[in-house]
Structure 1
Amino acid sequence: MSILIVEDDDITREAMAQYLKLSGFEVLETNSGEKAIDFSNMIDVALIDVKLPGMSGIEVVSEIKSRNPSCVVFVITAYDDKETIKKCVEAGADDFIKKPVNLELLKLKITHAIRNKIFHLYRSSYMKSLKERLEIIEKTAEEFFTEYEDFMFEILDILNMLSEYRDVETYRHTERVGWLSGRIAEVMGLDELLVTEIQFSAPLHDIGKIGIPDKVLLKPGILTPEEFEIMKQHTIIGFRILSRSSSPILQMGAEISLTHHERWNGSGYPRGLKRKEIPISGLIVAVADSFDAMVTERPYKRAKTLDEAFQEIELLSGKLYSPEVVEAFLSLEKEIREVYRREKDENSSHQSGGSHKSSSGEGLEGLRE
């Protein structure tokens, strides 16, 4: 049996070589990883120092295994760190020998390896096959999630357009509510994933309006109390539509649809929830939706100025809106003003909104939109 020793420390290499020769093995020696490659197809066992000048021991292991899969490779190392061991195993190492080398243990390991060479050959072949399969799986998974992500954004766009087709006043309203909700969530320090889910699901808050009759949804004037009760159903309709999906974003959209008209003091709808009974997503979108509704002109009401809208949101903190959400919202005042003024300058005709005003006189725009 031929054994190759790849070790740049002369004393260690010569001691191992002499001992193994006396034990009846044919031994080849080199202090270079590059030279070791030339012996790849001539050996049965390789003893490779992990730290070599030039070509690293890990690279030598990988190269020898690729040229001679039946070769049993031992890595000689003084290192105990898991990362080094992991890289050696990934490169194809079969076993490890600690420095300083115990020569008797070394001989026993080599003898055992030679007797079980067929096992090492099978193991090497299996590990190579497994690695190839994992690479295919990773590639397939990456392609799947990329396609899934694109698909989800398309679905969100389609759902947003559905509500816009039913109510032309919602043009761009959904985009602004999504952006503002995401920024509020971010300022509040919510988990990054939750921020993303809120940002992309918030525009679906009024998707349930596709189930509201035209005579109510498109009525140019003030709604009667009976009509307002019908309008309130858009929260439940939206929840029923979106909650059927297993998508986290659409599930979040269902939650927002159902709760974005709930109010901090319990005066909202459809369930009259209050304070922490309302999920954080609903509390955030309640503020974003209300603010956008306040500054948007409707056939039945004038648009408030930005100053008036900010003042009203602040005034209703702890009454209709979560104080924590309002605090985050107000901290964004400068940024919000810039965005709304820029959009007004770009295309004032594209300002949008949502629902209608109740003739009962109860509540503010935040409750109606």
Structure 2
Amino acid sequence: MNSKNNNIIHIPYGGYKNETSINGVTIRQLTEKKGLDILHHRLGDGNRWAVGPIAGWDGLEFVYILKGSLSWKEKDTLKIASIGDHLIMDPILEDTLFKAIGETEFLYISSDSMYDSVDEQVKEYMDLAVTVEEKDGYTADHCSRIKDLSMKVGEVMGLSSEAMLELNFGSFLHDIGKTKVPDRILNKPGKLSIEEYEEMKLHTIYGATLLKKTGIPILEKASTIVEQHHERYNGTGYPKGLKGDDISFLANIVAVIDSFDAMTSVRVYSQGRPLESALEEIKKERGRLFHPEVVDAFLFIQKKGEL
């Protein structure tokens, strides 16, 4: 993997001072000296790590596999690197999402560590997304559930590595705009008034605007998912009433997953529906509220027992 352009961004994220763990991935900084950053990554089976271009830097990235394997897509070709293999990114041209096959460890070496500030900014948004969902009555792992199921659907549908990376961020941060919705609305145990509901709907626009202003390319791309995840296939959604192919395909994926999770989650004002009831609702709205191909992929992973 040799290419030329800009810098990289990591999943997960953090300043890598000592050790950072999240969503089955642990990153430990071994040294940062004379412009060289050496990190040890440990990924649980099926967990993901990514690199992608960031403007303003032109250094060398190097990955050496110590244990397990990493898989990724280059265009439509599945690639696998195993113990003893190495990847050179000088640096990488396209967003690339790696997935661990078995328990995987690798060394990541960068000729510069200027991406730390970017990673810290991303971490702040991820933490904020979890906090705001808890205010809205969800459990702390709501964002991770939406991301994990969205990624499974994306894999079934054969999405490109770049699309999967965008989906990864957009699904996790789908409700980040709720940070601008008043707590009196988020915390209200009963039904929202018409005015309150209109304010709540603005979280899609608030979130998209927030991500666009970051100046981080992958978050700017993910802003489309954030803005459109409440649009509906027949045009009855919000904020713009888009329909059919006018809706981002990735947003269609999050729309199905988020709706399913909302139906089955226990919240202050809802006991949650049984799994079978929620699945029947998804099936009923296939081709009406939800993109039919996405529903088919979702039902496929359900039949495999991966919900």
Instruction: Give the TM-score, by structure 2 length.
Output: 0.60
2:110 to 143, 153, 161: 143
Q: Deviations over 1:91-123 (max 9, x none)?
A: xxxxxxxxxxxxxxxxxxxxxxxxxxxxxxxxx
AA at the equivalent of 1:164 = V
Q: CA deviation at 1:189?
A: 1.2
Q: Which residue of 2 aligns with 1:261?
A: 230
Q: CA deviation at 1:204?
A: 0.4
1:159 to 104, 125, 129: 125
Q: CA deviation at 1:249?
A: 2.3
Q: Which residue of 2 aligns with 1:315?
A: 284
2:269 to 300, 304, 323: 300
The count of aligned residue pairs is 202
1:259/1:278 contact within 8 Å kept: yes
Q: CA deviation at 1:208?
A: 0.2
Change (3 A) 1:264 1:172: same
Q: Which residue of 2 aligns with 1:235?
A: 204
1:197/1:248 contact within 8 Å kept: no
1:275 matched to 2:231: no
1:177/1:292 contact within 8 Å kept: yes
Q: CA deviation at 1:250?
A: 0.6
1:199 to 147, 165, 168: 168
Q: CA deviation at 1:272?
A: 0.1
2:266/2:272 contact within 8 Å kept: yes
1:190 matched to 2:112: no
1:256/1:285 contact within 8 Å kept: yes
Change (3 A) 1:220 1:144: farther
1:201/1:249 contact within 8 Å kept: no
Give the Cα separation in 2 of the matches to 1:146 and 1:194: 26
1:290 matched to 2:263: no
Q: Which residue of 1 aligns with 2:103?
A: none
Give the Cα separation in 1 of the matches to 2:118 and 2:263: 30
Q: Deviations over 1:2-41 (max 9, x none)?
A: xxxxxxxxxxxxxxxxxxxxxxxxxxxxxxxxxxxxxxxx
After superposition, the CA RMSD in angstroms is 2.3
Q: Which residue of 1 aligns with 2:97?
A: none
Q: Which residue of 1 aligns with 2:8?
A: none
1:186/1:192 contact within 8 Å kept: no
Q: Deviations over 1:320-341 (max 9, x none)?
A: 0000111111110045x555xx
Change (3 A) 1:298 1:154: same
Change (3 A) 1:211 1:284: same
Give the Cα separation in 2 of the matches to 1:268 and 1:331: 25
Q: CA deviation at 1:153?
A: 5.3
1:195 aligns to what SS in structure 2?
helix
AA at the equivalent of 1:271 = K
Instruction: Give the TM-score, by structure 1 length.
Output: 0.51
Change (3 A) 1:282 1:231: same
Give the Cα separation in 2 of the matches to 1:186 and 1:151: 30
Change (3 A) 1:265 1:146: farther
Q: Which residue of 1 aligns with 2:52?
A: none
AA at the equivalent of 1:186 = E
Q: Which residue of 1 aligns with 2:181?
A: 212
1:206/1:238 contact within 8 Å kept: yes
2:231/2:239 contact within 8 Å kept: yes
**Is the strand fraction higher in 1 or 2?**
2
Give the Cα separation in 1 of the matches to 2:148 and 2:113: 23
Q: Deviations over 1:286-331 (max 9, x none)?
A: 0111111111012222211111111111110111000011111111
Q: CA deviation at 1:167?
A: 4.2
1:332 aligns to what SS in structure 2?
helix
Change (3 A) 1:338 1:138: closer
Change (3 A) 1:313 1:146: farther
Change (3 A) 1:229 1:137: closer
Identity of aligned residues (%): 41
Quick one: higher RCO (CA 8 Å, sep 6+), 1 or 2? 2
2:231 aligns to what SS in structure 1?
coil
- Superposed, 1:90-109 pairs within 5 Å as none
1:167/1:218 contact within 8 Å kept: no
Q: CA deviation at 1:195?
A: 1.2
